[in-house]
Amino acid sequence: MENIDDYVLQVSNLSVKLQNQTILENVNFRLKKGTVLAVVGPNGAGKTILFKALLNLVPYTGKITWTEKVRIGYVPQNIAVDDIPISVKDFLSFENHVDVESSLSPVRLDNKNVADKTLGVLSGGQLRRVLIAWALADKPNVLLFDEPTTGVDHDSEEPIFVMLNELKKKNRITVLLITHDVHIVREYSDYLLALNRCVTFFGESKEIMNPSVQKIIYGETVCAGTPNEDR
Amino acid sequence: MVLEKMALVGDALSHVALPGLALGILFNFNPFLGAFAFLFASAVIIWYLGRVTKLPFETIVGSVFTLALAIGVLLIPESDLLEALFGDITKVTILETAAAVVISVMAVLLTKMIYKKLVLGMISEELAISKGINVGRINLLYLLLVSIVVAVGIKIVGTLLVGFLVIVPAAASKNVSADLSKYAVLSASFGAISSCSGILLSSYLNLPTGPMVVFSGIVVFLATVLAKIKAK
* Cα distance between residue B109 and residue B121, in whole Å: 19
Nearest CA in chain A to B6: A83
- Kind and range of the H or E run holding A17: strand A7-18
Task: For residues A61-78, give the mean pLDDT.
Answer: 89
* Domains of chain A in sequence order: 1-70+141-231 (3.40.50.300), 82-140 (no CATH)
Give tens-digit pLDDT for A121-156.
888 788 888 888 888 888 888 999 887 655 556 666
A194 touches A182 (CB < 8 A):
no
| Selection from B179, B215, B183 nearest residue B200 by Cα | B215
CB atoms A95 and B122 under 8 Å: no
Task: For residues A172-191, give the mean pLDDT.
Answer: 87
- For chain A, the residues whose C-beta falls within 8 A of a C-beta of chain B are 52, 55, 57, 72, 74, 76, 78-81, 83-87, 89-91, 93-95, 116-119, 134
pTM: 0.77
Which of B1, B118, B126 would you mutate first to test chain A, the one with the most A CBs within 10 A? Answer: B126
CB atoms A74 and B127 under 8 Å: yes
Which of B 170-189 lie inside 8 A of A, CB atoms? 174, 177-183
Q: What is the pLDDT of residue A224?
A: 58
Q: What is the pLDDT of residue A132?
A: 86
Q: What is the pLDDT of residue B34?
A: 84
CA distance B112 to chain A (A): 13
Contacts of B181 in chain A (CB under 8 A): 90
More confident residue, A226 or B102: B102
8-state DSSP, A87: B
CB atoms B123 and A57 under 8 Å: no
Quote the percentage of chain A above a pLDDT of 90: 18
Question: Which residues neighbour A20 within 8 Å (Cβ) at sequence distance 6 or greater?
Answer: A230
The SS3 of residue A93 is coil
Q: What is the pLDDT of residue B10?
A: 64
Neighbouring-strand partners of residue A177: A38, A145
Instruction: Please indicate if any CB of chain A lies within 8 Å of the CB of B222.
Output: no
| Selection from B101, B57, B48, B177 nearest residue A84 by Cα | B177
CA angle A188, A77, A54 (to 5 degrees): 80
Considering only the beta carbons, identify the residue of A79, A83, A90 that sits closest to B179: A90
CA distance B116 to chain A (A): 6
Q: What are phi and psi of A192, to 5 degrees?
A: -130, 130
| Selection from B129, B106, B123 nearest residue A59 by Cα | B129
* Cα distance between residue A193 and residue A201, in whole Å: 6
Chain centre distance of CA B226: 25
Q: Tens-of-pLDDT digits for all 232 residues of chain B?
A: 555 555 556 666 777 787 887 888 778 777 778 888 888 888 888 778 877 777 766 677 778 878 887 888 788 777 777 777 777 777 778 888 888 889 889 988 998 888 888 888 888 888 888 888 888 888 888 878 888 888 888 776 777 677 788 888 888 998 888 888 888 899 989 999 998 999 899 889 988 888 888 899 999 999 999 998 888 7
Give tens-digit pLDDT for A6-41.
889 999 999 999 888 889 999 999 999 889 999 988
CA distance A212 to chain B (A): 37
Q: Is B78 exposed, middle or buried (0-12, 13-18, 19+ CB in 10 A)?
A: exposed
B26 touches B78 (CB < 8 A):
no
Contacts of A86 in chain B (CB under 8 A): 119, 123, 179-180
Considering only the beta carbons, identify the residue of A57, A81, A90 that sits closest to B126: A57
Q: What are phi and psi of A220, to 5 degrees?
A: -95, 55
Q: What is the pLDDT of residue B35?
A: 83
More confident residue, A222 or A174: A174
* Cα distance between residue B215 and residue B201, in whole Å: 10
Give tens-digit pLDDT for A189-216.
899 999 888 888 898 888 888 888 887 7
* Cα distance between residue B211 and residue B217, in whole Å: 10
Question: Which residues neighbour A108 within 8 Å (Cβ) at sequence distance 6 or greater?
Answer: A129, A159, A163
Which of A90, A93, A98 would you mutate first to test chain B, the one with the most B CBs within 10 A? Answer: A90
Instruction: Please indicate if any CB of chain A lies within 8 Å of the CB of B116.
Output: yes
| Selection from B209, B202, B175, B204 nearest residue B2 by Cα | B175
| Selection from A56, A53, A72 nearest residue A15 by Cα | A53
CATH node for B7-231: 1.10.3470.10
* Cα distance between residue B186 and residue B189, in whole Å: 5
CB atoms B123 and A72 under 8 Å: no
CB atoms A87 and B179 under 8 Å: yes
Q: What is the pLDDT of residue A230?
A: 39
A15 touches A40 (CB < 8 A):
no
B217 touches B168 (CB < 8 A):
yes
* Cα distance between residue A27 and residue B139, in whole Å: 34
Q: What is the pLDDT of residue A228?
A: 42
Nearest CA in chain B to A120: B178
CB atoms B179 and A86 under 8 Å: yes
Across the A:B interface, residue pairs with CB atoms under 8 Å apart total 66
Q: What is the pLDDT of residue A229?
A: 40
Give me the residue spans of the domains in chain B.
7-231
Q: What is the ipTM of this complex?
A: 0.74
pLDDT band for position A226 (cuts 50, 70, 90): very low
Output the DSSP codes for B88-108: -GGG--HHHHHHHHHHHHHHH
CA distance B41 to chain A (A): 27
Task: For residues A40-49, give the mean pLDDT.
Answer: 87
Q: What is the pLDDT of residue B226?
A: 94
Considering only the beta carbons, identify the residue of A72, A86, A117 that sits closest to B119: A86
